[in-house]
Amino acid sequence: MALIFIRTCIIFITLLIIMRLMGKRQIGEMQPYELVITLIIADLACIPMSDTSIPLAYGIVAIISIYFLHQVVCLIDLGIPKAKAIVSGSPSIVLNKNGIDDKELKKNNLDISDLVESLRSAGYFSLDAVDYALYESNGSFSALPKPEYEEEQTSLPVILIKDGKFDENNLQLTKRNKEYFLRVLRENHCENPKKLLVLTVDGNGKIYFQERGKKFCVVRMNWEKKLW
């Protein structure tokens, strides 16, 4: 049983480290250690239950070991704030008043489309609709909207450039060519589109773009009619 206890501890710690390394993408509404427990406790209960050649005590001791580890992590969470940040992680502010924080996104193995998707799930369709957006340590998404954001959301923005590359399908939606957008970028002091982190455009001609490491910029083009 001592072996089972040690082996359970090793597997628990390994899974916890892996979950933390995988970032917030893998977690949903649970703390990393809670997800680890959910992943392993079902098997711990099932295998000795269905395989009669394994003594039931193996499963019972392993489950009690998991309970012990859970309580230890809870105690760390409550008592040592620094250790809590290591075990459970801390919130990541991925969008602030300067725009998207690319480094924070990468740290959590996320990209711009994941952020846009999370924003849409939270009811914000434009990147400039919120002042702050963050992924909590349990992987859930929170955003602080701008006061007048609802008036801004009159058309669905689409990603036209991501990491310096044009999305050809979305370009066709705009009924304009690459040159048009490159000219808009040049006029707004963005000489090298390859340095662009993201460029979105909505049906009214509102362009949102951000260069890597710089503040975002919003340009409103006077399109004759709303395209979508």
Partner 1 sequence: MVKTAVSIIISLAFIVGVCAYELYFVNTSFAEFRKILCSLYEKAENSVATHEDGIAAQRYWQEKKSGLHVWLPHTAIDSVDFQLSEALGYLYEGRYTDALPKIEVLIDMSENIPNAFKLLPENIF
Interacting residues with partner 1 (CB under 8 A): 1-3, 5-7, 10, 52-55, 57, 61, 64-65, 67-68, 71-72, 74-75, 78-79
| Closer residue to partner 1 in complex, CB, 8/210 | 8
CB of 67 to partner 1, least distance (A): 6
* 196 SS3 class: strand
Which residues make beta-bridge pairs with 130? 145
| Closer residue to partner 1 in complex, CB, 1/156 | 1
CB of 146 to partner 1, least distance (A): 41
* 148 SS3 class: coil
* 113 SS3 class: helix
Q: Element (H or E) spanning 96, and its range?
A: strand 92-96
Q: How far apart are CA 193 and CA 157, in angstroms?
A: 19
CB of 49 to partner 1, least distance (A): 14
| Closer residue to partner 1 in complex, CB, 64/219 | 64
> How does DSSP classify residue 55?
-
Q: How far apart are CA 96 and CA 134, in angstroms?
A: 9
CB of 43 to partner 1, least distance (A): 17
| Closer residue to partner 1 in complex, CB, 7/103 | 7
| Closer residue to partner 1 in complex, CB, 66/184 | 66
Closest alpha carbon to 174 in 189, 164, 161 = 161
* HSE toward the beta carbon, residue 101, CA cutoff 13 A: 15
CB of 61 to partner 1, least distance (A): 6
